[in-house]
């Protein structure tokens, strides 16, 4: 990495991913003794392809050096006699070698040298030797000497035919066939639905009493609608518009009404469906929409609900020794999640303004969890209640963010500005997820 011009700090970061570091942990406010963590990159680690590319670059440099000093001779191609020695692609490398035993010996030395310096191993069992204009016996003998396999042209590389006549239509037929199949699979599948993220797709239903959620066509369990996932079953349901409460009773048992009983392939699908909905229990609460595309916001709401927001009072409960658990901004109350996001001076102001914007009065007795799940007190359309939910979550998140900026970075914070931020963020998000261009 040094040779490739990476800076000291960057190299240090990469190295620290691979080296062991001693660790101390805070348990109930006191430190444990030091222990060592084992580190390294496993298969599948997002870092490993990058490290592999760096190492493969070593092989590239090594080959170039060998070509430049005439130790290794590639093949000349075309009327301009361009010399091609090798083509690396991901974890594959193709070598083009002028047919001479000297050349092969040097190639083997070069690969050996690469193995020794990089610690990577060339898999000769998976490597193949092809001869162009060389008879098959000779290719076989050479392959045996090199310890690899041999094959004849044409062969397929990355799905393309190599070595067949590229101007012949027949040699492209398999490729065209493959593409046609891919495209028609793609058209037939669910993918077409997911191309445009529609407004409703960014929500899923959280099931309460199951009265307001369509069993087959609303998104309430798993990652897509049951209609898309279990097409065959959907077709044999007597009522395609059945609600969740029509198909699941209060004990979580299925209430099925089939045109004909699931048999054969639908039998298997039916079992899968039963497994999928097995955990669903109906409760005395209306179904509500849950925002899925929240990113930071969604994570924030989840943390708030689980009381994982590190307010001073929560830290104090975990036994961490703090001098003072009162709110650093107003000193009116202890710093709890509800205080931070709802009742502290600025947050309360922001919430009142947001409610005002919708022509509502804020109920002062709510706690933050109720705030995140409650429906507004006025009747709203389905889309209206989704926007409402998105707004409440966005507002909570922005209050928390602004508050932290205020406490830790001394950044000034005013409620009217936060109201604007809520409006802008909400508008940005809605216009991204649907075609509404104006919010009243
Ligand atoms: Zn406060």
Given a cut of 90, whether residue 357 has pLDDT beyond it is no
At 368-418, the pLDDT tens digits run 878 877 766 666 777 777 778 788 888 988 898 888 888 877 888 888 888
**pLDDT level of residue 367 (50, 70, 90 thresholds):** confident
Ligand 1 centre and the CA of 17: distance in Å?
40
Is residue 333 within 8 Å of residue 341, measured between CB atoms?
Answer: no
**What is the per-residue pLDDT for 333?**
81
Where is mean pLDDT largest: 135-139, 166-170, 320-324?
135-139
Ligand 1 centre and the CA of 326: distance in Å?
8
**pLDDT level of residue 40 (50, 70, 90 thresholds):** low
Ligand 1 centre and the CA of 397: distance in Å?
16
**What is the per-residue pLDDT for 246?**
92
Ligand 1 centre and the CA of 122: distance in Å?
64
Q: Which of 123, 124, 119 is nearest to 54 (CA)?
A: 119
Ligand 1 centre and the CA of 421: distance in Å?
21
Q: What are phi and psi of 361, to 5 degrees?
A: -100, 140
Strand partners of residue 77 = 82
Given a cut of 60, whether residue 281 has pLDDT beyond it is yes
Ligand 1 centre and the CA of 414: distance in Å?
14
Ligand 1 centre and the CA of 346: distance in Å?
8
**Is the pLDDT higher at 127 or at 18?**
127
Give just the sign of the alpha carbon dihedral 303, 306, 307, 310. negative
Ligand 1 centre and the CA of 427: distance in Å?
29
> Residue 295 is encoded by which pair of tokens?
């990113």
Mean pLDDT of the chain: 79
Ligand 1 centre and the CA of 371: distance in Å?
18
**Sequence-separated (6 or more) residues with CB below 8 Å from residue 230:** 269, 272, 273
**What is the per-residue pLDDT for 42?**
67
CA separation for the pair 421, 297 (Å, rounded) = 14
Ligand 1 centre and the CA of 297: distance in Å?
22
**pLDDT level of residue 92 (50, 70, 90 thresholds):** confident
Q: Which residue has the tokens 């044409």?
A: 154
Arithmetic mean of pLDDT, 338-350: 89
Ligand 1 centre and the CA of 80: distance in Å?
78
CA separation for the pair 141, 49 (Å, rounded) = 35
Ligand 1 centre and the CA of 333: distance in Å?
6
**What is the per-residue pLDDT for 31?**
67
**What is the per-residue pLDDT for 43?**
66
Is residue 372 within 8 Å of residue 303, measured between CB atoms?
Answer: no
Ligand 1 centre and the CA of 359: distance in Å?
26
Ligand 1 centre and the CA of 327: distance in Å?
5
CA separation for the pair 270, 230 (Å, rounded) = 8
Q: Is 382 exposed, middle or buried (0-12, 13-18, 19+ CB in 10 A)?
A: exposed
Ligand 1 centre and the CA of 332: distance in Å?
6
At 9-33, the pLDDT tens digits run 988 888 777 776 666 677 766 766 7
Ligand 1 centre and the CA of 377: distance in Å?
27
**Sequence-separated (6 or more) residues with CB below 8 Å from residue 54:** 1, 4
**What is the per-residue pLDDT for 244?**
92
Q: What are the contacts of 100-107 at 24+ separation with CB within 8 A?
A: 100/73, 101/142, 103/72, 103/73, 104/142, 104/145, 104/146, 106/66, 106/71, 106/72, 107/72
CA separation for the pair 173, 302 (Å, rounded) = 52
Ligand 1 centre and the CA of 350: distance in Å?
13
Ligand 1 centre and the CA of 356: distance in Å?
22
Ligand 1 centre and the CA of 195: distance in Å?
45
At 42-74, the pLDDT tens digits run 666 777 777 778 888 888 889 999 999 988 888
Ligand 1 centre and the CA of 342: distance in Å?
9
CA separation for the pair 328, 409 (Å, rounded) = 13
Ligand 1 centre and the CA of 323: distance in Å?
17
Ligand 1 centre and the CA of 311: distance in Å?
11
Ligand 1 centre and the CA of 345: distance in Å?
6
Ligand 1 centre and the CA of 396: distance in Å?
15
**What is the per-residue pLDDT for 190?**
41
**Sequence-separated (6 or more) residues with CB below 8 Å from residue 422:** 350, 354, 391, 394, 395, 398
The maximal CA–CA distance of the chain, rounded, in angstroms, is 91
Ligand 1 centre and the CA of 413: distance in Å?
13
Give just the sign of the alpha carbon dihedral 229, 231, 233, 234. positive
Q: What percent of the chain has pLDDT over 70?
A: 82
Minimum mean pLDDT range among 104-118, 226-240, 280-294, 327-341: 280-294
295-300-303 Cα angle (round to 5): 130
| Entry pTM | 0.39
At 181-208, the pLDDT tens digits run 766 654 444 433 333 334 455 566 778 8
């Amino acid at each position: 990495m040094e040779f490739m011009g990476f800076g000291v700090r960057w190299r240090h970061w990469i190295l620290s991913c691979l080296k062991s570091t001693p660790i101390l942990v805070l348990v109930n406010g006191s430190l444990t003794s030091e222990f060592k963590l084992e580190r390294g990159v496993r298969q599948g680690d997002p870092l490993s392809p990058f490290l592999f590319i760096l190492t493969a670059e070593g092989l590239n440099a090594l080959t170039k050096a060998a070509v430049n000093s005439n130790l290794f001779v590639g093949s000349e191609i075309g009327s301009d006699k361009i010399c091609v020695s090798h083509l690396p692609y991901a974890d594959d490398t193709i070598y083009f070698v002028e047919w001479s035993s000297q050349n092969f010996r040097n190639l083997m030395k070069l690969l050996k040298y690469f193995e020794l310096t990089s610690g990577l191993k060339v898999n000769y069992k998976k490597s193949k030797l092809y001869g162009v204009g060389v008879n098959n016996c000779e290719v076989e003998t050479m392959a045996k000497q090199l310890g690899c396999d041999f094959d004849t042209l044409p062969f397929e590389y990355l799905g393309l035919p190599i070595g067949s006549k590229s101007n012949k239509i027949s040699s492209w037929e398999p490729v065209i066939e493959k593409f046609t199949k891919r495209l028609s699979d793609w058209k037939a599948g669910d993918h077409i639905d997911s191309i445009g993220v529609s407004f409703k797709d960014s929500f899923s239903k959280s099931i309460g009493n199951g009265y307001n959620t369509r069993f087959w066509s609303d998104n309430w369990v798993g990652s897509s609608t049951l209609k898309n996932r279990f097409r065959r079953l959907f077709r044999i349901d007597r009522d395609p518009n059945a609600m969740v409460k029509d198909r699941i009773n209060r004990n979580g048992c299925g209430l099925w009404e089939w045109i004909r009983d699931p048999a054969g392939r639908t039998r298997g699908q039916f079992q899968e469906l039963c497994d999928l909905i097995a955990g669903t229990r109906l409760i005395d609460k209306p179904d509500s929409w849950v925002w899925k595309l929240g990113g930071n916001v969604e994570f924030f709401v989840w943390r708030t609900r689980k009381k994982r927001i590190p307010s001073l009072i929560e830290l104090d409960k975990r036994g961490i020794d703090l001098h003072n658990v009162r709110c650093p901004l107003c000193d009116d109350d202890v710093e709890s999640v509800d205080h931070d996001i709802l009742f502290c001076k600025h947050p309360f102001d922001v919430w009142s303004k947001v409610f005002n914007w919708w022509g509502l009065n804020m109920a002062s007795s709510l706690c933050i969890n109720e705030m995140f799940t409650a429906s507004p007190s006025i009747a709203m359309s389905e889309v209206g209640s989704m926007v409402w939910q998105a707004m409440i979550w966005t507002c909570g998140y922005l209050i928390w963010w602004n508050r932290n900026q205020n406490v830790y970075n001394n950044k000034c914070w005013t409620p009217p500005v936060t109201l604007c931020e809520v409006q802008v963020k909400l508008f940005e998000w809605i216009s991204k997820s649907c075609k509404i261009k104006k919010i009243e």
